[in-house]
Amino acid sequence: MPKLVCTTCHCELRPETNGIIVIETASFGPYKVWNADVWKCPGCGIEIVAGFGEVPIRADHYSPDFPDWLEKVKATARRVEYDNETPRCNREAHANCPLRNKQP
């Protein structure tokens, strides 16, 4: 298990949610889907995604059934996060972020 330390609060992050879905995207859209875990700082509440599986759940974005499969996974997942090729910020708490709502 990794040891993750918050650089603001100087304390260890703790597991928050296990088994989330992470959708890795590229310029053309989603192309890999992973299982991972969310870790959270008990002080400031910052969250990170870590603990990825060794291989993606699916990496065959070119398959005809991939879009439908992905929608079903998103609809039933406990939580979904994205790993974007380019940085984007869509968090309400980051209203002044220069990346907010930036599209690739």
Tokens of 51: 């603990």
pLDDT tens by residue, 34-78? 999 999 999 999 999 999 999 999 999 999 999 999 999 999 999
83 closest CA partner among 13, 36, 17:
36
Give pLDDT, residue 65. 97
Distances (CA, A) of 5 to 14, 40, 51, 80: 9, 10, 15, 23
Q: Would you kindly state where each structural domain of the chain is located, as residue ranges?
A: 14-94
C-alpha–C-alpha distance, residues 50 and 20, integer Å:
10
pTM over 0.95: no
Alpha carbon distance 63, 3 (integer Å): 37
Residues of the chain above pLDDT 90, percent:
77
66 SS3 class = helix
Q: How far apart are CA 71 and CA 93, in angstroms?
A: 27
